Amino acid sequence: MCKTHVLSVSGAKAPFEKTTIERRELRPDDIFIDIKYCGICHSDIHNAYDEWGGGMFPMVPGHEMAGVVRAVGPEVTKFYVGDRVGVGCFVDSCEKCEYCLRGEEQFCTKGVVLSYNSLDYDGNLTYGGYSQNIVVKEEFVVRIPDALDLDVASPLLCAGITTYAPLRKWNTGPGRKVAIVGMGGLGHLAVQYAHAMGAEVTVLSQSLNKKSEALELGADHYFATSDPAVFTELAGRFDLILNTVSANLDVDAYLSMLRVDGTLVNVGAPTQSDKYNVFSLIMQRRSIAGSLVGGIRETQEMLDFSAQHGIAPKIEVIRADQVDEAYERVLRSDVRYRFVIDISTL
């Protein structure tokens, strides 16, 4: 067992405190990783505030981990001491069911083991990346390409794959009109991926504040949804709308901007149920869908694609004692565009 310094919360909305936990002994197929940076995802806030229910405390959030391999178990074949690696939203799955076999471990029928706030297959609570190190089975570790610094790589492990995967799944490419709703941590990466995949990209943000940055990141058009005329102007425009917003939207208004056969894909995960009128779907054969992170194989593909296309999040690196303040700033949409904790300050 290895004692590790972490940032934890003792209950919903409690402030972060520096405490210690024990990481398990290395199993033969385990990797021991020194975490260097960990991104702050809005899901960390939903979980730490227990907004989705089922919160298990004490909680150590963090599922955007980038670090360096310190030790490997005797049966590890893919990684060596010193390798630059990442760990995302989950750390184990059955590896045998139909979804695991096709590389979509997030849908494992036994139940995927999340990086934190989850019970592993031995019944132990998992602790995430606001932590000096972590022990993970090698199959759930990805390689960070040399072209990506570890601090900018960390948000890709959740925000990157969560946007890359649905854009691929819904055939983003030349000739397709894609709208990204919300220019936050997920949204500003979605803009870059959709652009790199060749689509015509529109950002739908609450205000005009982020327009110049959206255009720099590859958006072709930008609209502020605070102006209701935008919904009329864009009626029937998009093949795909990727919604990254953490709050409930007027779903019918967004559906009205889809073409025939267009799809509204939700990755944003508000705490209350959405409402919509079924005629918003029927009349133009539209669909509503959801998407959950992405599998390990596709996460590696996303990292390689990011390195190849020069895609990276815009980050603000913070110290471990600034996390409470960072949460408040994320809730005020006062982040451009991802906070990343420098774990050496823990």
CB of 146 to ligand NAP, least distance (A): 26
Stretch that binds Zn ion, among 8-16, 27-35, 89-97, 141-149 (CB under 5 A): 89-97
Binds Zn ion by CB under 5 A, chosen from 68, 94, 230, 292: 94
Instruction: Please give the Cα distance from 219 to 214 (Å, whole number).
Output: 6
Instruction: Please give the Cα distance from 161 to 303 (Å, whole number).
Output: 8
Binding partner of residue 262 among Zn ion, ligand NAP, none, CB under 5 to 8 Å per kind?
none
Instruction: Please give the Cα distance from 34 to 210 (Å, whole number).
Output: 35
Binds Zn ion by CB under 5 A, chosen from 158, 194, 199, 315: 158
For 331, phi then psi, to 5°, come to -65, -25
Q: Does 246 bind Zn ion (CB under 5 A)?
A: no
Stretch that binds Zn ion, among 86-94, 118-126, 169-177, 244-252 (CB under 5 A): 86-94
Give me the residues paired with residue 125 across strands.
119
Q: Which residues bind ligand NAP (CB under 6 A)?
A: 41-43, 46, 158-159, 162, 182-187, 205-206, 210, 244-247, 267-269, 291-293, 330, 333
SS3 308: helix
Residue 31 or 153 with smaller CB distance to ligand NAP: 153
CB of 7 to ligand NAP, least distance (A): 18
157, 86 in Cβ contact below 8 A? yes
Residue 92 or 301 with smaller CB distance to Zn ion: 92
How do strand 17-23 and strand 2-8 relate by DSSP bridges? antiparallel
Binding partner of residue 100 among Zn ion, ligand NAP, none, CB under 5 to 8 Å per kind?
Zn ion
Instruction: Please give the Cα distance from 179 to 169 (Å, whole number).
Output: 15
With contacts defined by CB under 5 A, how many residues of the chain interact with Zn ion?
A: 8
Stretch that binds Zn ion, among 3-11, 139-147, 156-164, 269-277 (CB under 5 A): 156-164
Q: Which amino acid appears at position 97 of this protein?
A: C
For helices 296-309 and 185-196, angle between their N-to-C axes, nearest 10 degrees = 70
Q: Does 12 bind Zn ion (CB under 5 A)?
A: no
Residue 38 or 330 with smaller CB distance to ligand NAP: 330
CB of 93 to ligand NAP, least distance (A): 15
From residue 142, alpha-carbon distances to 59, 185, 297, 317, 323 in Å are 24, 21, 8, 22, 26
Binds Zn ion by CB under 5 A, chosen from 97, 224, 269, 317: 97
CB of 219 to ligand NAP, least distance (A): 11
Binding partner of residue 183 among ligand NAP, Zn ion, none, CB under 5 to 8 Å per kind?
ligand NAP
Binds Zn ion by CB under 5 A, chosen from 43, 117, 205, 306: 43
CB of 266 to ligand NAP, least distance (A): 7
- Tokens linked to 117: 């706030």
DSSP string, 10-72: SSTTPPPEEEEEEEPPPPTTEEEEEEEEEE--HHHHHHHTTSSS---SSB-----EEEEEEEE
CB of 157 to Zn ion, least distance (A): 8
Stretch that binds Zn ion, among 27-35, 106-114, 176-184, 277-285 (CB under 5 A): 106-114
CB of 273 to ligand NAP, least distance (A): 14
Which residues have C-beta within 8 Å of that of residue 277, sequence separation ≥ 6? 252
For helices 159-169 and 185-196, angle between their N-to-C axes, nearest 10 degrees = 40
With the CA atoms of 169, 121, 52 and 39 taken in that order, what torsion angle do they form, in degrees rounded to the nearest 10? -70
CB of 3 to ligand NAP, least distance (A): 30
Site for Zn ion, rule CB under 5 A: 41, 43, 93-94, 97, 100, 108, 158
